[in-house]
């Protein structure tokens, strides 16, 4: 049917495992007819990891620099009689789809050319192969959870002025129908969750001493997504940037991992378009509301890890599917404009809260709403890898420190006594009464159903 010679077909079958591995790793160009592999794969893997990191930092890399780095890695690996020739380097670039433009110094034109190439070739192929609900994007952002209003005159750089911080991975699909559970990376391995088991949190929680995304955490996240899609009998594509903490992953059965071109995420990554900022708007609004309520009751608003996670979950729930779909459309993932949700409605409540805080002199005069939302915009989310780390290929999660940072974090945790079920039922009843007094219909909030659930716990 396809005019494939029998000898060629036999060769494919004999090399089936190797072919499947390189397809899973997205190593070769779709236009490549032969699968040339390197005789020094260890040197090649080190050079590729270094190049991805350099490109992520917008570092211009020339052919002589690549040649020198390859020779350095060979020496560090103890490989004798290796010399990076022009032929070896060109084959390396061809195997991994490294455009010559990226290694010749065209700083201004390279990003736009890469964007055009992505949208006209790779993205077109993805849209032809996958339905909108099967196209996912994931991206990290830094979060300083205790940045309420006490930041007058502060200049936060990479999160160095605050010891409590998180890295959050958000992921959603093209039409906004599936917002994946947030992955939250903290600094404390065992923060106080007031008796709540870590697997019952409304987010996935893990930790290392820098609260950074590292390759092992990302790999486990993708494998978890892959297992979920296998259970659902779906084939999906997960689009991510080429951050050093995002390694190529083999052995995936239902997820195809697709990397964006370097230095183009503001034009090609939907979550970076406006989804993350919308999430942070809701998060900061909730913080401002808590500060206002605490001031009204003459109490001090304190933030701990559990409360911060609860607010994160609430903020992610409040990001509308229309907002996500519009951000995918903005990055050329759809031709038709989705139904648009008025942003003024989403931000009007936040503006009202800010006005009230200004009235009671709790909002600094030199801080805008944008500054408040973007206070952690420059927080680092992943660690740069040294040459020795690349050679050692050690991608283990740092063990959380047991130093002053964790001790301070534990001291900030708010311990709550166990809440009795009867008190919970009384709280729901009081909330229903409040809504009735304010003339608000409570059916949409399913409070009656919640009362039934709590009552069933009493009988149990």
CB neighbours of residue 146 within 10 Å: 17
Long-range pairs for 203-209: beta carbons < 8 A, 24 or more residues apart: 203/309, 203/312, 203/313, 205/309, 206/397, 207/400, 208/397, 208/398, 208/399, 208/400, 209/398, 209/399, 209/400, 209/401, 209/405
Output the six-digit token pair for 306: 């559990």
Task: Determine the Cα angle at 55 with ends 395 and 240, to 5°.
Answer: 65
Residue 64, H or E segment = helix 63-77
Instruction: For the chain, 460 residues long, give each residue's pLDDT as a single digit of tens.
Output: 788 888 888 888 888 877 766 665 555 555 555 655 667 888 888 888 788 777 666 566 778 888 999 999 999 888 888 999 988 988 888 877 676 545 544 444 457 888 899 999 999 999 999 999 999 999 999 998 865 554 434 444 443 445 678 999 999 999 999 999 999 999 888 777 777 788 888 999 999 888 999 889 999 999 999 999 999 999 999 999 988 789 889 899 999 999 998 878 888 999 998 899 999 999 988 888 888 887 777 777 777 888 899 999 999 999 999 999 999 999 999 867 666 555 555 577 788 888 887 887 777 777 788 888 887 777 778 766 667 767 764 233 344 444 445 555 555 555 567 778 888 888 888 888 888 888 887 766 677 778 778 777 776 6
State how far the Cα of 183 lies from the Cα of 168, in Å rounded to an integer: 6
Comparing CA positions, the residue from 149, 171, 165, 144 lying closest to residue 280 is 144
Query: In a 3-state reduction of DSSP, which class is residue 173?
Result: strand
Output the six-digit token pair for 266: 């503001």
Output the six-digit token pair for 363: 């909002």
Comparing CA positions, the residue from 383, 440, 427, 451 lying closest to residue 140 is 383
Residue 320, exposed/middle/buried by CB under 10 A (0-12, 13-18, 19+)?
Answer: middle
Output the six-digit token pair for 138: 């994931």
**How much is the pTM?**
0.70
Distances from the Cα of 373 to the Cα of 27, 131, 163, angstroms: 39, 33, 19
Q: Under 8 Å CB-to-CB from 304, ≥6 apart: which residues? A: 191, 192, 412, 413, 414
Going along the chain from its start, the domains and CATH numbers come out as 6-27+37-96 (1.10.10.60), 120-149+163-374 (3.30.420), 421-459 (no CATH)
Query: In a 3-state reduction of DSSP, which class is residue 237?
Result: strand
Task: Determine the Cα angle at 321 with ends 431 and 134, to 5°.
Answer: 135
Instruction: Report pLDDT for 382.
Output: 79
């Amino acid at each position: 049917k396809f005019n494939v010679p029998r000898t060629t077909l036999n060769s494919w079958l004999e090399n089936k495992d190797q072919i499947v591995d390189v397809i899973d790793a997205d190593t070769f160009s779709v236009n490549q007819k032969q699968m040339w592999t390197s005789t020094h794969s260890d040197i090649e893997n080190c050079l590729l990891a270094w190049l991805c990191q350099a490109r992520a930092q917008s570092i211009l890399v020339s052919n002589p620099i690549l040649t020198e780095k390859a020779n350095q890695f060979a020496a560090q690996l103890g490989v004798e009689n290796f010399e990076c020739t022009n032929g070896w380097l060109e084959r390396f670039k061809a195997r991994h789809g490294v455009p010559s433009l990226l290694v010749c110094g065209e700083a201004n034109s390279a990003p736009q050319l890469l964007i055009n190439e992505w949208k006209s070739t790779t993205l077109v192929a993805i849209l032809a192969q996958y339905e909108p609900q099967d196209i996912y994007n994931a991206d990290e952002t830094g979060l300083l959870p205790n940045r309420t209003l006490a930041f007058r005159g502060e200049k936060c750089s990479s999160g160095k002025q605050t010891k409590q911080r998180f890295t959050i991975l958000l992921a959603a699909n093209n039409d906004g129908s599936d917002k994946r559970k947030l992955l939250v990376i903290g600094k404390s391995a065992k923060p106080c969750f007031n008796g709540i088991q870590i697997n019952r949190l409304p987010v996935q929680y893990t930790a290392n001493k820098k609260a950074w995304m590292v390759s092992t955490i990302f790999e486990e996240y993708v494998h978890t997504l892959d297992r979920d899609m296998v259970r659902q009998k779906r084939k999906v594509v997960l689009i991510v940037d080429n951050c050093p903490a995002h390694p190529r992953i083999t052995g995936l059965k239902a997820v195809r991992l697709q990397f964006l071109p370097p230095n183009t995420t503001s034009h090609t990554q939907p979550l970076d378009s406006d989804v993350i900022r919308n999430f942070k708007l809701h998060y900061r609004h909730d913080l401002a509301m808590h500060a206002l309520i605490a001031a009204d009751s003459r109490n001090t608003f304190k933030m701990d890890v559990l409360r911060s996670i609860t607010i994160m979950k609430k903020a992610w729930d409040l990001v509308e599917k229309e907002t996500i779909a519009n951000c995918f459309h903005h990055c050329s993932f759809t031709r038709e404009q989705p139904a648009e949700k008025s942003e003024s409605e989403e931000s009007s409540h936040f503006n009202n809260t800010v006005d009230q805080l200004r009235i009671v002199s709790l909002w600094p005069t030199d801080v805008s709403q944008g500054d408040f939302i973007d206070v952690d915009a420059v927080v680092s989310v992943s660690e740069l890898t040294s040459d020795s780390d690349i050679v050692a290929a050690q991608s283990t999660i740092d063990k959380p420190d047991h130093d002053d940072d964790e001790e301070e974090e534990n001291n900030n945790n708010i311990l709550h006594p166990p809440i009795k079920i009867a008190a919970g039922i009384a709280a729901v009843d009081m909330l229903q009464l409040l809504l009735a007094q304010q003339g608000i219909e409570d059916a949409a909030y399913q409070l009656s159903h919640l009362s039934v659930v709590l009552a069933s716990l009493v009988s149990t």
